[in-house]
Amino acid sequence: MLKITRKVEYALIALRHFQNQEKDKLTSAKEMSKAYGIPQELLAKILQRLARENIVDAVKGPAGGYKLAVDPKTINMTKFFEIMEGPMGIMDCYFDSGCEQLQSCNIRTPLNRINDSIRSMFDNMTLADITY
Amino acid sequence: MLKITRKVEYALIALRHFQNQEKDKLTSAKEMSKAYGIPQELLAKILQRLARENIVDAVKGPAGGYKLAVDPKTINMTKFFEIMEGPMGIMDCYFDSGCEQLQSCNIRTPLNRINDSIRSMFDNMTLADITY
DNA sequence: TTATATACGACTATATTAGTCGTAAATCAT
DNA sequence: ATGATTTACGACTAATATAGTCGTATATAA
Ligand code: FES
Ligand code: FES
């Protein structure tokens, strides 16, 4: 309940790694997977996702790898989570209006309020806040 | 990701239901399951849990049912979530210190900060806040 | 041309959540 | 007493979501 996924966790580890490094130094999925004990294929897929979203740059070939493509300050966490995992809401009906309970539902409003609080909390954070 | 479980959702629906009702009126699991379209057995189990935790009172026998046992203002949401679902943290290592990544983990601190924010947000809410 | 790295989707495995079922015990009405 | 109704509880199964693997393709440096 209210858990972050490993996908996000690994992505954050990777991004933090880049921030701790010389700006344009490349790190390969392999290196990084060893360093942090993350399954290589999985981490690779995550880095690929980040590359597709232009959060990191990818360089192919031997001695290739990834590096940060943007200033982490410019990416807010809500957006980041949604890039990685799709719509973020404590319940599905926040987005998906096909909820069966909807007619009789007596907690929609308060739950939406909670949702808004969580979202705005993450709206006010950027990837850079994961640095410290 | 960052989802609430149905168990919690149903519990909240039930509790809100009691709050909308005459103070000592009993509602059976059956009635309520019909009213909100929730599987009866499941809702029953949830109400039983709430009864065990003395949040609701249970009355057996025909014309029995449940009613609120406490002032909802007195139960904070963090505690409530943990009663229903166990330890609440965006990642397991918040509680469980047996994390494999721990040595090399570079995001523990910031993630704990986020965790604290979420917890304190719910610490400052009570069940009564689900009323409106 | 070979070794190394990214790219991507399909697939499998595992864990979590959701829901069901069987059985017991209390209680009320007849 | 007996039967109907309801809570109590745990074991079980089903469904879904998450985590991880694999095969294959493509780019590139040496
Ligand atoms: S549960 Fe979907 S609207 Fe309340
Ligand atoms: S992932 Fe467990 S300590 Fe960071």
d(CA A110, CA B1): 19
Predicted confidence (pLDDT) at residue B132 exceeds the cutoff of 70:
no
Torsion of CA B119, B122, B124, B128, to 10 degrees: -160
Beta bridge partners of A126: A76
> What are the tens digits of pLDDT across the range B40-88?
999 999 999 999 999 999 999 999 999 999 999 999 999 999 999 999 9
Residue B103: the pLDDT is 73
**Looking at the domain assignment, is residue B88 inside a domain?**
yes
Domain-located, residue B48: yes
Together in a domain, A58 and A98: no
Tokens of A105: 């539902």
Three-state DSSP at A16 gives: helix
Nucleotide nearest to A65 (CA to C1'): C5
User: Of A47, A68, A89, at which residue does a domain stop?
Assistant: A68
Of the candidates B18, B34, B68, which is a domain's last residue?
A: B68
State yes or no: pLDDT of A128 exceeds 90.
yes
CB atoms inside a 10 Å sphere around CB A52: 11
- Residue among A88, A101, A130 minimizing CB distance to B2: A88
Q: Which nucleotides of C are covered by protein (CB under 7 A)?
A: 3-10, 17-22, 25-29
Q: What is the mean pLDDT of residues B9-23?
A: 96
**Residue A91 Cβ < 7 Å to strand C:** no
Q: How far is Cα A123 from Cα B96, in angstroms, rounded to an integer?
A: 28
For the entire predicted model, the pTM comes to 0.95
> Do B56 and B89 share a domain, yes or no?
no
Closest to B121 (Cβ–Cβ): which among A16, A36, A117?
A117
Number of domains observed in the structure of chain A: 2
Among candidate residues B18, B45, B68, the one where a domain is terminated = B68
Residues A27 and A49 in one domain: yes
Give nearest CA residue, ligand 2 atom 3. Answer: B102
B84 and B63 in one domain? no
Residue numbers of the domain that contains B80: 73-131
Query: Do residues A82 and A43 both lie within one domain?
Result: no
> For position B64, which CATH number holds?
1.10.10.10
For residue A105, being part of any structural domain is answered with: yes
Does any ligand 2 atom lie closer than 6 A to the CB of residue B96?
no
The pLDDT score that the predictor gives to residue A59 is 98
